[in-house]
């Protein structure tokens, strides 16, 4: 909860401004089911804004969008299967809404139709060596884990863990997985991506979640322990102002500086340490996570953060949200101050044209502005602003899709 009444008032005003703007650019019904950049994210946004505001009008809009998405899924072949942009992310979203009691539908009625597609896609990604979170097998793993107890998906989940075990690079430095060069990155094959969006941190969160669910605990514990050992050994290589780098380059490649963000940098490592520390009851890892986060809270200049926008992925909103999570869990005042600072920056950087006096829906078939989406646009920013008015971590359950539900 924001203690500064002036800041809280401006946050509420910005939320209303964003909601008014979004009513003029609804996503077209036939668009893909993207969680991070499409209708899936819109569904998440409206359900959780409705929950936090206790708004029947927003609930009605959320259910209308969900009905459109289910109709699209029933009558249109999937054009993407990834966590970020396709069926996997929509499945994770639907399971979350059902678990939270926000929808009455039996999740199995929808998810059984997705299981076969997602299992086949996961096998293909494992064969291709794609262990990305947003665009590969690790993202699928979170869906499979949410379906624990379903025989077909359980077999695939165990296969994913076996693949992580068999492809891990092990030496005195610890355990990690080499990333492939692809269209998703521009670094050489053999590099180790440390980030949450695509790299080691998301793999470690996945392993911690498996341990918490009692899945292949011995294998996952060994991999998680070795992965954290490797991660901690990279401290000090992050460049100006950062402790951890974004990427450990392949031999002969130049090192890169890091940033302060959800996707890369010290806050990713903090997230991985918190998940791992709680899964294995390792108080030292939790202590190191908070120590790292307190250091990150002191960095505010562009030179030390590389922040230049208000979005969730690599902007001010994502950073504000992580510090809000940390504050609600620990009540450390350093995190409250950091949250409020990045909220101020989010208010300053978030802009949207004023809605017309008589708003009208976007023309049929027109695409919404890319600035409205969850990962990098106004919906993610608005969820962060609304969440900062909450008093308990339980109100923030939506951030499970960003792997931040470490409370």
pLDDT digit string, tens, across residues 203-232: 999 999 999 999 999 999 999 999 999 999
Q: What is the mean pLDDT of residues 315-343?
A: 97
For Cα atoms 183, 187, 191, give the angle at the middle one, nearest 5 degrees: 120
Average pLDDT over residues 337-346: 97
pLDDT tops 80 at residue 116? yes
Torsion of CA 202, 2, 381, 135, to 10 degrees: 10
User: For the chain, what percent of residues have pLDDT higher than 90?
Assistant: 75
| Number of domains into which the chain is organized | 1
pLDDT at position 187 is 61
Cα–Cα distance for residue pair 283/287, rounded to 1 Å: 6
Range of the domain at 210: 172-306
In a domain, 82, yes or no: no
The answer as to whether 73 is a domain residue is no
> Is residue 171 within a helix (H) or strand (E), and if so which, with residue range?
strand 169-171
Dihedral over alpha carbons 318, 320, 324, 330 (to 10 degrees): 100
Nearest 5°: the CA angle 207, 212, 214 is 95
By the 10 Å C-beta count (0-12 exposed, 13-18 middle, 19+ buried), 117 is classed as middle
Instruction: Give the CA angle between residues 246, 252, 256 to the nearest 5°.
Output: 25
272 domain-assigned = yes
Asked if the structure places residue 320 within a domain, the reply is: no
In a domain, 284, yes or no: yes
- What does the pLDDT read at residue 24? 80
Q: Is 270 annotated as a binding residue?
A: no
Question: How much of the chain, in percent, has pLDDT values that exceed 70?
Answer: 90
Residue 40 inside a domain? The answer is no
Over residues 259-293, the pLDDT tens digits come to 999 999 999 999 999 999 999 999 999 999 999 99
Given a contact cutoff of 8 angstroms between Cβ atoms, the answer to whether 83 and 120 are in contact is no
- At 58-89, the pLDDT tens digits run 999 999 999 999 998 888 888 789 999 999 99
The answer to the question of residue 369 being in a domain is no
Average pLDDT for 105-115: 85
First to last CA, the chain: 16
Q: What integer is the mean pLDDT of 185-199?
A: 83
Residue 37 lies in a domain: no
pTM of the entire structure? 0.93
Looking at residue 254, what is its pLDDT? 57
Contact 130, 137 (CB under 8 A): yes
């Amino acid at each position: 909860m924001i203690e500064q009444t002036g800041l809280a008032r401006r946050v509420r005003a910005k939320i209303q401004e964003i909601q008014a703007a979004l009513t003029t650019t609804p996503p077209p019904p036939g668009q893909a089911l993207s969680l991070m950049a499409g209708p899936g994210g819109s569904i998440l946004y409206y359900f959780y804004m409705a929950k936090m505001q206790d708004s029947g009008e927003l609930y009605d809009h959320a259910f209308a969008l969900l009905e459109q998405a289910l109709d699209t899924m029933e009558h249109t072949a999937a054009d993407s299967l990834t966590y970020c942009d396709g069926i996997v992310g929509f499945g994770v979203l639907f399971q979350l809404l059902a678990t939270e009691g926000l929808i009455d539908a039996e999740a199995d009625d929808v998810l059984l139709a997705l299981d076969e597609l997602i299992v086949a896609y996961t096998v293909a990604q494992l064969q291709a060596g794609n262990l990305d979170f947003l665009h590969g097998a690790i993202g699928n793993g979170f869906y499979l884990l949410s379906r624990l107890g379903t025989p077909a998906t359980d077999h695939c989940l165990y296969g994913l863990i076996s693949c992580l075990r068999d492809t891990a690079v092990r030496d005195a430095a610890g355990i990690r997985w080499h990333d492939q060069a692809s269209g998703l990155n521009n670094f050489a094959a053999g590099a180790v991506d440390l980030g949450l969006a695509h790299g080691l941190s998301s793999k470690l969160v996945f392993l911690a979640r498996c341990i918490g669910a009692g899945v292949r605990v011995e294998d996952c514990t060994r991999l998680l322990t070795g992965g954290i050992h490797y991660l901690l050994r990279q401290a000090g290589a992050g460049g100006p102002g950062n402790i951890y780098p974004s990427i450990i380059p392949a031999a002969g490649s130049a090192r890169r500086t890091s940033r302060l963000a959800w996707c890369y940098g010290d806050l990713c490592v903090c997230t991985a340490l918190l998940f791992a520390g709680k899964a294995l009851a390792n108080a030292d890892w939790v202590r190191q996570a908070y120590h790292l986060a307190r250091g990150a809270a002191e960095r505010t200049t562009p030179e030390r953060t590389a922040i230049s926008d208000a979005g969730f992925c690599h902007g001010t909103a994502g950073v504000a949200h992580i510090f809000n999570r940390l504050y609600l869990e620990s009540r450390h005042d350093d995190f409250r101050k950091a949250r409020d600072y990045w909220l101020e920056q989010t208010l300053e950087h978030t802009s949207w044209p004023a809605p017309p006096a008589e708003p009208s829906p976007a023309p049929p078939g027109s695409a919404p502005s890319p600035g409205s989406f969850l990962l990098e646009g106004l919906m993610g920013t608005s969820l962060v602003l609304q969440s900062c008015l909450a008093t308990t971590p339980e109100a923030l359950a939506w951030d499970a899709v960003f792997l931040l539900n470490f409370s």
